[in-house]
C-alpha cells in the first residue's frame, strides 16, 4: 500500500512517519513546502503524480483562539482544502484519512464519554470548522477514515501552536512561573506515538468510517498538569482556575472524553490509560536529554 502523508513534520505526522516506516510501509512524507493544501493545483499535481492508495492529512488550522478572529482562514484550511483533498482522492482513487477533534463536542449537556453516535455540538469556530470538514468528506467520499483525536502531545511538539501542553507546563515550571490551569474542562490527554500505532492497526482492517481515537481515562487540564509535574519531579506553584477566570477567547468543551467504541467494534483494543502513556513520554524526554 502506498501512502502520502501530508504534514509529515507536524506533531502527529512525525510519529506516523516514524512508526509506519518502522513497519516497512511505503509512505511518502509531504511537508507544507511539498504540498500546500489550500492550493488546488498543487494538491492535484502532487497527488496525481504519486497516485497513493491512501492520503493521510494531518494539516489543519488549529490555533483555537486565533480561529475566532480568522474565520475565513479556519474554513479555508479545515473545510475548503479538505474538500479539495477529497475531490482529488476521488480522481486518483485514493482513500483519505483525516483528523478531527474532541472540540466537535461541547460537553455542557453530557458528562459521560461521547461515542461516534453522539450528536456533535461545537462551541467554537475551530470546532465548527472541523465538523464541517468531517461532513464534507462524508458527503463526497465513501473510502475515508475520519479520526477524532484529543489533547495531543508528541516529541515533535505541535508545529501549528509552537508547543504542546506538556512542554509548555515544564517550561513554565523551569522558569519559576506561578501557573494557573483550568479545572473545569475535562479531556483525555493522548500520546501521538500511541495514536500512530492505532492508526496503523486501523488501516490494516480496511474498515472505513468515523472513529474516536484517544488514550483512555479522563482528567481536567489542571489534573493533567499536576501529573506532568509529579512525573517530571517538578514542584511549581500551581493553582486551579475556571474557564471564566482564565478568559481565553474561544469557548472550549467542558467535557470531551471520547469513547473509542467504533475502534473496539473494528476489533482493535482500547489504548492504554493516559497516565501510562504520559509516564513513558516523560521518561523518553529524559533519555532525549530534555
Ligand X SMILES: NC(=O)c1ccc[n+]([C@@H]2O[C@H](COP(=O)([O-])OP(=O)(O)OC[C@H]3O[C@@H](n4cnc5c(N)ncnc54)[C@H](OP(=O)(O)O)[C@@H]3O)[C@@H](O)[C@H]2O)c1
User: Which positions are catalytic?
Assistant: 126
The site map against ligand X for 146-185 (x = CB under 6 A) is ---xxxx-----xxx-------------------------
C-alpha neighbours within 13 Å on the C-beta side of residue 197: 12
Whose CA is closest to 155, among 34, 271, 280? 280
Question: Hey, how many other C-beta atoms are within 10 angstroms of the C-beta on 162?
Answer: 10
Pick from 12, 97, 146, 169 the residue near ligand X by CB under 6 A. Answer: 12
Residue 85 or 172: the one with the smaller Cβ distance to ligand X is 85
Cα separation, 23 vs 250, whole angstroms: 39
Question: Hey, how many other C-beta atoms are within 10 angstroms of the C-beta on 237?
Answer: 10
Residue 11 near ligand X by CB under 6 A: yes
By CB under 6 A, what part of segment 220-239 binds ligand X?
none
Residue 10 near ligand X by CB under 6 A: yes
Pick from 17, 29, 54, 58 the residue near ligand X by CB under 6 A. Answer: 58
SS3 97: strand
Q: Residue 108 phi/psi, 5° resolution?
A: -95, -20
Cα dihedral 189→194→196→199 (10° resolution):
-90
CA angle in degrees (0–180, nearest 5) for 236-193-164: 35
Residue 12 or 239: the one with the smaller Cβ distance to ligand X is 12
Residue 30 beta carbon to ligand X: minimum distance, rounded to whole angstroms: 8
The site map against ligand X for 61-100 (x = CB under 6 A) is -x--------------x---------------------x-
- Residues in contact with ligand X, counted by CB under 6 A, come to a total of 26
Residue 6 or 47: the one with the smaller Cβ distance to ligand X is 6
C-alpha neighbours within 13 Å on the C-beta side of residue 163: 8
Residue 13 near ligand X by CB under 6 A: yes
Interface residues with ligand X (CB under 6 A) are 6-7, 9-13, 32, 35-38, 58-60, 62, 77, 99, 101, 149-152, 158-160
Amino acid at each position: 500500500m502506498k501512502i502520502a502523508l501530508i504534514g509529515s513534520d507536524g506533531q502527529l505526522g512525525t510519529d506516523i512517519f516514524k512508526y509506519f516506516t518502522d513497519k516497512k510501509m511505503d509512505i511518502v512524507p509531504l511537508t507544507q513546502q511539498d504540498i500546500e493544501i489550500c492550493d488546488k493545483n498543487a494538491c492535484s499535481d502532487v497527488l496525481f503524480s504519486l497516485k497513493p492508495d491512501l492520503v493521510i492529512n494531518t494539516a489543519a488550522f488549529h490555533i483555537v483562539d486565533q480561529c475566532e478572529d480568522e474565520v475565513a482562514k479556519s474554513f479555508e484550511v479545515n473545510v475548503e482544502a479538505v474538500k479539495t483533498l477529497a475531490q482529488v482522492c476521488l480522481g486518483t482513487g485514493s482513500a483519505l484519512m483525516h483528523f478531527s477533534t474532541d472540540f466537535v463536542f461541547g460537553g455542557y449537556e453530557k458528562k459521560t464519554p461521547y461515542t461516534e453516535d453522539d450528536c456533535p455540538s461545537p462551541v467554537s469556530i475551530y470546532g465548527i470548522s472541523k465538523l464541517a470538514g468531517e461532513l464534507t468528506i462524508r458527503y463526497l467520499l465513501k473510502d475515508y477514515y475520519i479520526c477524532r483525536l484529543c489533547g495531543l502531545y508528541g516529541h515533535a511538539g505541535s508545529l501549528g501552536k509552537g508547543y504542546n501542553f506538556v512542554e509548555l507546563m515544564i517550561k513554565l515550571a523551569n522558569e519559576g512561573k506561578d501557573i494557573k490551569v483550568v479545572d473545569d474542562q475535562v479531556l483525555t490527554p493522548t500520546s501521538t506515538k500511541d495514536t500512530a500505532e492505532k492508526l496503523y492497526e486501523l488501516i490494516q482492517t480496511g474498515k472505513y468510517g468515523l472513529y474516536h481515537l484517544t488514550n483512555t481515562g479522563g482528567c481536567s487540564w489542571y489534573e493533567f498538569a499536576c501529573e506532568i509535574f509529579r512525573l517530571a519531579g517538578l514542584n511549581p506553584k500551581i493553582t486551579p482556575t475556571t474557564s471564566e477566570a482564565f478568559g481565553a477567547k474561544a469557548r472550549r468543551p467542558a467535557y470531551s472524553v471520547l469513547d473509542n467504541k467504533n475502534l473496539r467494534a473494528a476489533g482493535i483494543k482500547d489504548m492504554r490509560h493516559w497516565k501510562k502513556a504520559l509516564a513513558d513520554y516523560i521518561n523518553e524526554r529524559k533519555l532525549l536529554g530534555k
